[in-house]
A and B are shown apart, each in its own frame.
Chain A
Amino acid sequence: MDIANLELDVSAMPAEFTLFRGEVSSDEWSTAAFAIAEDHGRLVSLWGNQRGDGTFVLSSVYDIGALIWLDLPLAKGSISYPDISGLFPSANRLQRAVGDLLGLEAAGAADSRPWLNHRMWPADYFPLRKANSGKEEFADDLADDYQFVQVLGDGVHEIAVGPVHAGIIEPGHFRFSVVGEKTLRLEERLGYTHKGVDKAFEQLFAVDGYRLAGRMSGDSTVAYAWSYCMSLENIWNWKLPERATWLRAIALERERIANHLGDLGALGNDAGFAFGLSQFMRLKEDVLRLNKKLFSHRFMMDYICPGGVERDVDADGLAVILAQCAVVEEEVRTLQKIYDDHSGLQDRFMTTGIVTFDVATKLGLTGMAGRASGIIHDVRIDASCAPYSKMDVHVSSRETGDVCARVDVRFDELFESLRLIRNLIGNLPMGAIRTEYVERGPEGSGAGWIEGWRGGIFTALYVDSKGQISRCHVHDPSWQNWPVIEYAVIGDIVPDFPLINKSFNLSYSGHDR
């Protein structure tokens, strides 16, 4: 889509990818959303902010080939903005979260129930407003009267699952309306791991924020930290040494490998095939242990830092990584054959939890799950930064959109990541691993966008003149993908839900913030 067709007053922002930004009026907010939806653009994120003068600004970012960041400043005293969830269903929960945290209302939204606020704080308290510290304490007897959508009919009953589960997983509540074993409707309720990260950011200096960003969702810590650092480096216009970005990419691909290995094992296990779990977990453990040895942490937490990376990998270390790539590749090829040839497993995977291309497009399914439904987008290509801009990343996709497709895409991406690591190590430039930087850059705001293993992780960062964070919004792709699971399970049987859920393996922590 041509940016000119939007007829908006936008200007290019300094970023490693193409990013336009502009202020819009309330009408333009709606018309732009309409035009972008018409042209199959995608909503990346939506958040709110309070300025120093007390007025509010609502921001949204769309992907229309390039990223476009729109700011809607509200008049003094106004808390209302036009709803876009009719055009972009994934905006529904984002708007409700803005309502809970900042007290802004989406005028005309069909669903205005709270989302992150489980009445842990009163309905008239908004933690992200500048007047509030976020540390206020409230009575814990506030009534939580969240209304689930009821399904009525003969023989329909509800199964309530969670937030405390029988296994060791993150908390989330799932309300099934079923007839016998058949799922008629699933409604999710999330927000149990809300930690107030957005508010916590505001107490940090921008150079320190990467550590908090890296703790949003532990399994994606590299992608989060990179996304955060990229936004800061864009604001302060730091140029990174080549070797630093190459090492970042090696870490990011290793994170993808570790997570895909874990998920492939867990998917086997959820279909009752425990053999798969123990084999894949063994491989994942090897990857994590090498991470600990070479990157100081099993998940590579705090490895990526503003201006580069924390530590270099020497020639011996690189050789060990290459050797591990060879072992993982060989073993996973064998395991893939076992999975593919196992009729019982394939029977469980195939036609389970189908998300068709049309549904996926309409709901804005993104990332790895999106590619399994034929939505071929990958930030490593769409908005590639160094070193991906110099590499040839092969995107894997499937059309069927079932559990099997998501398993297949994971296998493909795993092999692709192994190939990329070999290329990265083969062409690893020499030089510094970190840029020399001054503690305090100019004030401003910027964005970072990185393809984590789940999908694109977007960061919008606002830094004040003292070098302190005035607002930081970090967006997990799970915001887009959680609502899609509600559609993926329709018509499937109840015992298939764990398998379908695991095939997406979305983040609770990254979503609940």
Chain B
Amino acid sequence: MTFTRALSQVISVVTPLALAPLLLGWVNQVRAWLSNRRGPGILQPYRMLHKLFNKDSVMADSASSLFRFAPYAIFGCMLLANAIIPTLSTDLPLASAADAIALVGLLALARVFISLAAMDIGTAFGTLGARREMLVGFLAEPALLTVLFSASLNGKSTALATIVEAVVHRDFAIYPSLVFAGMAFTLVYLAENSRVPVDNPSTHLELTMIHEAMILEYSGRHLALMEWAAALKLFAYSTLGIALFLPWGIGQRATPSSLLFSLPSLALKLVVIGAVLALVETFSAKLRIFRVPEFLATAFLLGVIGMLTHILLGA
């Protein structure tokens, strides 16, 4: 029993680790298709990780140990975040170890590390990126919290597993509070994962970058960890979205076989989410940086409306 539970937990950690680059590859491939390009194929992120892990890592002379340590810390944070989120099952050993607020804290910890590492070298771009990341972060975090609170009102608990079970066991209907929370979550999702219209993951214009500016000085295995962590973050946010708003199909027992049964529904949902993300990115232009606060304030507002709706309507 303990062994199968432990094995289940391992599977639910390895799955994001293995599939996160695939999700990124899928989004990039759909983006390519939508602009009439052939695209590099969905396995491209794996090839890139393989390439980067085999390259030497170059360190700036001014780099401190923080710069060296940050990729591991960030990667660890993202991996742990994926372990907390009920991706394949709600009944996992680690599920009770942390709730939604701890998840937000974990993501914030990664943000602190990436920003500090960016400023550590002392180049203008790193500082520029870190400054903008903090601007996005301090607006996105409260918006994300309101989303999580709206969702937690259903199960009267901030534990993610309880939230999922509460939604699954209710009648299938459109709940206004969840619709508002869902809209807010979509905006936060775009901002937090450095996607268009807030940031552009494919840009190499130094002066417009946010996430790319922060990891500009990384190379080799450190860059590989940073890229992988970014993919894990996208995966974590995607599965968090699934857990909060589309939880049907997530297993409720912690046996390896039940996990395997919930894998197809997870894959299907991720394919759809990836395609929608690519569609949104293709149709949007990037916002001026000073429009980003408006964008995230809208997310916050929608989250608050979601909470109020639940309290007023009870739905």
Contact = CB atoms under 8 A, between A and B. Distances in A.
Do chains A and B interact in one complex?
A: yes
Interface of A: 157-161, 165-167, 181, 268, 270-275, 277-279, 282, 342, 344-345, 347-348, 493-498
B206 A275 contact: no
Contact of A167 (B205, B284, B291): B205
Given A275-B34, A282-B36, A494 B197 contact: no
Contacts of A342: 285
Closest 8 CB pairs of A and B: A272-B286, A344-B285, A278-B35, A167-B204, A498-B205, A159-B124, A495-B208, A273-B285
A498 B207 CA distance: 7
Contacts of B203: 272
> Most A CB atoms within 10 A — which of B202, B207, B286?
B207
Given A158-B124, A279-B35, 20 more contacts: A157-B124, A159-B207, A161-B207, A166-B205, A166-B209, A167-B205, A271-B285, A272-B196, A272-B200, A272-B284, A274-B282, A275-B282, A278-B35, A279-B36, A344-B197, A345-B285, A347-B287, A348-B286, A493-B288, A494-B128
Contacts of A282: 36
Contacts of A278: 35-37
Contacts of A268: 285
Contact of A274 (B202, B206, B208, B290): B202
Nearest to B209: A166
A325 B247 CA distance: 53
B98 interface: no
B239 to A, nearest CB: 26
B211 interface: no
Contacts of A275: 34-35, 282-283
Contacts of B204: 165-167
20 contacts: A157-B124, A158-B124, A159-B207, A165-B204, A165-B206, A166-B206, A167-B205, A181-B290, A272-B196, A272-B284, A272-B285, A275-B34, A278-B35, A282-B36, A344-B284, A344-B285, A493-B290, A495-B207, A495-B288, A498-B205
Contacts of A347: 285, 287-288, 291
A273 B280 CA distance: 11
A348 B36 CA distance: 24
Interface in B273-299: 281-291
Nearest to A348: B285
Nearest to B210: A495
A61 to B, nearest CB: 36
Nearest to A158: B124
Contact of A272 (B31, B37, B197): B197
